[in-house]
Amino acid sequence: MSANTAKTKKRFSTRRKALLGLVVIALGVVGWLQYIGAAGISGIPTKEMDWNADGTVTQQEIMQSFYAVGVTKTSQGQRECSEYYWREGKRSIRVDCRTTMATEPTKE
């Protein structure tokens, strides 16, 4: 009876172990993409992933944003720039700059 009780009280079932493994792998992939500076997770909208400037965004260009295109973000005062480049050779694709208007804290 104690053998059956010990056998039925497994901590994790096979399904849960598989799910935990998939979650760990997914988190590892996202961490690696963040480490290499992949453009796909930098917050760029899909409609702006036209890397060859032909006017249309293809599925291949979307996939390239994860493995072939990197981004470097810089900030100078209120101006924030994102430089997109090919990871192989560091050739620049384009630079997008935006000016943000920060509100000053009010003194009470």
Instruction: Give DSSP secondary structure letters for 41-86.
Output: GTT--GGG--TT-SS---HHHHHHHHHTEEEEEEEETTEEEEEEEE
Q: What sign does the dihedral 33-36-38-42 (CA atoms) show? A: positive
Residue 20 lies in a domain: yes
Residue 71 lies in a domain: yes
Q: What is the pLDDT of residue 4?
A: 58
Residue 32 lies in a domain: yes
Domain residues for the domain of 19 are 2-99
Confidence of residue 85 (pLDDT cuts 50, 70, 90): very high
Residue 106 lies in a domain: no
Residue 104 lies in a domain: no
Tens of pLDDT, residues 22-48: 999 999 999 999 998 899 898 888 888
pLDDT at 9 over 90: no
Distances (CA, A) of 50 to 53, 73, 108: 5, 19, 48
Residue 31 lies in a domain: yes
Confidence of residue 106 (pLDDT cuts 50, 70, 90): low
- Structural domain count of the chain: 1
Percentage, residues of the chain above pLDDT 70:
85
Residue 26 lies in a domain: yes
Q: What is the pLDDT of residue 31?
A: 94
pLDDT at 105 over 90: no
The rounded mean pLDDT for the chain is 86
Q: For the whole model, what pTM was predicted? A: 0.70
